[in-house]
Each structure stands twice: as C-alpha cells, then as structure tokens.
Structure 1
Amino acid sequence: MKLISPTQAVPTHIISGFLGAGKTTLLQHLLSQKPENEVWAVLMNEFGQIGVDQQMLPQTQGYEVKELLGGCLCCSSQLPMQIALSRLLSESKPDRLFIEPTGLGHPAQLLEQLTEPHWQPSIAMRALVTVVDGSRLHDGGWTKQNLYADQLKAAQIIVVSHADTMDFADEQALEALQSEYQAYQQTWLMSGQEHISLQQIDLPYVGTQRKIQPLLKIQKTFSAGQSLPEIKQLPYHYVETAQGYSVAGWKLPKRWQFDFYALLDLLCEQQGWLRIKGIFNTNQGWKTFNFNPEQFNYQSVEESIDNRIEIIVQQPRDWQVFEQQLFQCQINPDQD
C-alpha cells in the first residue's frame, strides 16, 4: 500500500489502558489543549460493533475523529488499521494524532506495527501512555491479569487516574506497582483534580528491542553463519532491551511440568538480577514466582495458558547455563 506522506511526520500518541481506566477522559482533556491554528486527529478502536466513545469527543472544527470498530487494531489483521490510518493522515493532514486502542488491546503490538520503516516518514511516535485507575489498585483480581501487566510493561508514561479518590490500600498497591516496574524507568503521573498537560506526555518514543529466538539449546545446533528460523509457536526464548536493562524470558508449553522444589531452589540461587517473575505448572500445582531483592514470593494460582519466566538484569549475560538448569527441573522431559 502506498502511503501519502505529509510534509512532516505527525507527532503521534498512543493512549492505552485497561477497560474503564479513564483513557477517553484523559484524551478529552488533552484535546482541549489544541492550539486554534492546528488540526488534530483521533483514531479510536472499540472492540464491539457500535461506537460510543467517539460521541464523547469534540465534534467541532479542527478535530477529525475516526473509529475502527470490531476486533482489536493491536492484534487483529493489520490491513484495516493501515487503511484507516493512511486515509486519516492523507485526508485530514493533521498536526497531531492520537490513537486510543480498545482496553482489551496489547499496545506493544500496535507500537511494533507503527514503528516499522514504511510509517516513519508519516508518523513521529511519541511516548506510549498507559492509564491505570488508581481507585482500583487494591483489587488484586483486576491488577494481576496478564493483559493489565502487558499494558503497563509497554508504557513509557503511566497516568494514574482518579488519584484524588485513592484510599490507603490503593496507595500501598501503587508503591508496590512502582517498585515492580522500577527497572523500566517509567514516568508516573497522578491525575485527579489536577489534569495532565500535553507537555508532560509529549516526549520522544524510546524503542524496545525484542528478539524472539529458538531455545538456546536449539541455537547451538546452528552454524555461526546460519540464520535462525522465525519463531511462531512455543517453546521459545527471547531477550528484550529497554533503557539500559535486559529482560531474558522463556515461554514454554503448558503441558510441561516442573518439580516445584527444584525450580524454587534454582530461582533462589540466581545472582545479579533486579527482578524475577514466572508462572509454572509444577507437581504442586500452578505456581507464580515474584522475586525482588527485598522479597521472594510464590503462591498457588489458577491454570495459565503457558509456562513463562522473565529475569531482568542490568548487565548482559550468557543464559545457556540457566536454560539448561531450568530444563533439568522438568518432570518427564522425554514426553515433550
């Protein structure tokens, strides 16, 4: 598809957040800051087939609002999003663009699409914003969902909405959440009676690099000049880098089962890490592991879609020994 590029790349903001977090309210306030001589555009995505949020935004001159209904522009076919965005840029020629994906979306996938080379002449990506509802931070059932964590992890800026209605439990939960994501060096903004200004979020996008690769034991079977195959299914290993930190991770099939005590011993023996998080199918049931330098926590949880672990470090390291030791914790590995 041939893009009609504006004369200058358009500053583009993604405003993400879980269902009901306050994305549209934040967007309304940001749009109220538009200079009179500029045209701003909004691309909204609703999971259902009936658009509601568009009616809550300005319908006056100087704004162009388009909706993409049905499904999620983050993770469904890219073509509808590509077409809608291309038309919005070429027809409206905006000075600034806001994209609000559905609360059920994974913004990291949308970022990956919009930072591809063919969009760079048209879009100047700004820092990704994720909105969280401060008044619901005490609700562990809400904040422990994988999608919630994915949206937080993708963010450069986290806006805590309803900050003026937070109680003591919410404030404690916020401190724990900020500690958990400290390695990502995110900016946290409190939004209650005081509103967020455009200048606070109008920061350059800092890219995250993720390399999804075969398991390290499989990589050893390839010659030095041989390219690694594209990974489309479990199991796989990945390394992600952001702002001076590295995250090494593994995703493994849910049928793989691990010895709980061997796994616990292995994680407790690790050195030089900033964060260890994982969920495993063990012979003691499904367990989550959430380690920081102050606390080693593990607990029983419901069945997950896969086994997974992430380890955050500041210094690069060779992960082959850890992977080998991890697989030695597996029960009946020959049945894979």
Structure 2
Amino acid sequence: MNVLSSAAAVPVHIISGFLGAGKTTLLKHLLTQKPEHETWAVLMNEFGQIGVDQQLLPQDQGYAVKELLGGCLCCSSQLPMQIALSRLLSESKPHRLFIEPTGLGHPSQLLEQLTEPHWLNHLNMQALVTVIDGSRLHDSAWTKQNLYADQLKAAHIVVISHADLMTDADQSALVQLQAEYAVYKQQWLITEHGKLDIAAIQQAYAGSPRRIQPLLKIQREQASEQAETIIQQLPYHYVEQAQGYTVAGWKLPKRWKFQCMDVLDLLCEQQDWLRIKAIFHTDEGWKSFNFNPEQFNYQSCEEAIDNRIEVIYQHSHDWSDFESSLLKCRIDALP
C-alpha cells in the first residue's frame, strides 16, 4: 500500500562524498537556512550499526532526522530505504528533504532508485552534490580509488571542502581534476567550514525522465497500431539521457537464470561503452559485474531482488542485438 499523500513533490538533495569529506558539516550549515515556518527532513545512512552523525544534526522542532544503519542504502536491497523514505515523507510532510548516503556508497545507484517512475509525483530531485576534501587532493592514492571516482562522476555539483587547508599541491591537483572531469559539465564550488548558500544547490536534476518500455523483442512483435503497453511488472527495458550520456537498462525477473560465462563473454565483447553494471542470477550463483574501461570486475554477491543491467554510452546506440544476445544467455525453462 502506498503511504504517500498527494501533496506537492518534495525537493530532494543527495549530499554524497567519500569518507571524511565533510558531508555532515555541509549539511549542518544548510539546515541552518531553514525558514521558520517549514519542516525539513534528513535521511542519513551509516554503514555500521551505531549511528553517530544523527546526533550532530538539529533536534529542534521543524527538523525530522532518520537514520538507516547497517549496509549501504545505495546498493543493498531497496526495500528498507523505500519504507524509511515513505514513512519519513508521510509522517513528517517535509518541505525539503536531504539524503546523506554513507561515504562508502554509490550515489548514482541511489539516484537511479529515486528517479523510478513511482517516485516522480512525490520527489522533485535536485542536482546531486558530491563533497570532496580539498586538503587531500594531492594524495593520488586517495583520489584514484574507484569509489572516489564513482562518486565524483555521479555529481552535478562538486563542493570542495576544507579549502582553507589546501596547499599549492592541492590547488594544482584541483586544476588537473577539473580538467579530467570536464566532460561531465559539472559545477564546482569552493567552501570553507561547510558554509554554502542553499540557493547554490537548488537546481533541478537535469536527467530526462526514465522511459520504461517492454523488452525490445516484445516491442517488435507488437503491431504498430497497438496501444503502447503499460509496464506494471518485470521484465522491462528503459533508456534515459543524463549529463550528455545515454543510459540503457534492463530489469528481469529474479527467477530467470543465466549462464554466467555467456553473460561475461557478452559484456566483454561490447565496444565503446563508458560503464557497465549488472547483477545476475546465474548457474554459478548470484554475480555482480562492475566494468569500467580500466577494470573488469565480477564477483559473487548476495541474492538480489531481480536481474538487472545498466550500460552507459556517450552516444546513441542500437540496443536490439545486445538484448537478443542477453536473452540467449538465459538457461532456465522459458515460460
């Protein structure tokens, strides 16, 4: 049952960043800018089982703060996050919502969840903010970590914290970093002690609405004059545009099982992509695939709620052949 009311969509800010970047300090300053007559809410995620950051935020009337402990709300089962968010919205009825994922989280996956069609009438997603520690930019061992790069690539707005502690080496590294990520067309902001005017991050999320459609195979089989199928359950396929990139994805029923090596071969055969992420139920158990042009990682993972894959390209792409090949990797009995 949907516990959300039909009230106007709530502006939602995701404040992400690597461990110790200064997310909570920034969030505390943003919360001080709440108009007296409004209620603002915060959904925080701690990777461990003991929450600390919640105690650092305002406990006054007009603020609603909720923590999710244990694991990462970005990439674990969506159900706890969906329930917590629905309750926070229905019980507190906030005028604005901030979400601070753990420093070990993947904000792009969280953004994917919150831009699903069933949230569109309730959440007004704002530009995703990633905070990075300016005083550590000289440390390449820190900045070259895959998770650090993932969080930076996901950002629409990059906030540089601890600017007062930056050395000449940090300043030089910042110039290089901005050049490296220029293709993402991000806005870069410098802060000291987390002080930032909230108007600077009040920018609507620029991604196009996700268009959910039947699998391409099913679409070809439908008569052209047939009314467009309304997607109510898996499987489905979607394509969206975000930050100048094309993102295509498939979500397939959990009961479908795939030949692990066939899936791996298919992914390795693809050309000119920027990122591939997937979770599949295979003959070798549940497997996660996390590919970037420098590294092809795949490993066993916990049971997921469905099979899914997402591929990012910098240009348009014909997905029909890929989908056909993917479906040929399926080994369970067809319905």
TM-score (normalizing by structure 2): 0.68
Structure 1 CA distance for aligned equivalents of residues 137 and 205 of structure 2: 26
Structure 2 CA distance for aligned equivalents of residues 145 and 208 of structure 1: 29
Partner deviation per Cα, 1:89-110 (whole Å, 9 max, x = no partner)? 1111111111101111111111
The residue type paired with residue 200 of structure 1 is A
- Map 1:1-336 onto structure 2 (within 5 A): 1-192=1-192, 195-207=195-207, 225=220, 241-245=241-245, 253=264, 305=298, 312=314, 316=316
Instruction: Return the offset for 1:242.
Output: 2.7
Q: Report the equivalent of 2:332.
A: none
Instruction: Return the offset for 1:244.
Output: 3.5
Of stretches 185-194 and 21-30 in structure 1, the one that deviates more from structure 2 is 185-194
Instruction: Return the offset for 1:305.
Output: 4.9
Matched-pair identity in %:
62
Structure 1 CA distance for aligned equivalents of residues 26 and 119 of structure 2: 26
Structure 1 CA distance for aligned equivalents of residues 106 and 179 of structure 2: 22
1:83 to 1:246, Cα distance in 2 relative to 1, 3 A: closer
1:145 to 1:240, Cα distance in 2 relative to 1, 3 A: farther
Structure 2 CA distance for aligned equivalents of residues 223 and 90 of structure 1: 38
Structure 1 CA distance for aligned equivalents of residues 50 and 244 of structure 2: 43
Partner deviation per Cα, 1:119-151 (whole Å, 9 max, x = no partner)? 122211111101011111111111111111111
1:188 to 1:94, Cα distance in 2 relative to 1, 3 A: same
Unaligned ranges ≥5, structure 1: 212-218, 232-237, 259-265, 268-274, 279-287, 291-300, 324-336
1:289 to 1:116, Cα distance in 2 relative to 1, 3 A: closer
Q: Are the equivalent residues in 2 in contact too, given 1:6–1:89 (CA < 8 A)?
A: no
Structure 2 CA distance for aligned equivalents of residues 23 and 60 of structure 1: 20
1:17 to 1:319, Cα distance in 2 relative to 1, 3 A: same
The residue type paired with residue 90 of structure 2 is S
Unaligned ranges ≥5, structure 2: 223-233, 249-262, 277-291, 300-310, 323-335
Structure 1 CA distance for aligned equivalents of residues 112 and 293 of structure 2: 28
Instruction: Return the offset for 1:289.
Output: 7.3
TM-score (normalizing by structure 1): 0.68
1:11 to 1:169, Cα distance in 2 relative to 1, 3 A: same
Instruction: Return the offset for 1:19.
Output: 0.7
Q: For this pair of structures, how many residues does the alignment match?
A: 273
1:132 to 1:85, Cα distance in 2 relative to 1, 3 A: same
Structure 2 CA distance for aligned equivalents of residues 319 and 79 of structure 1: 30
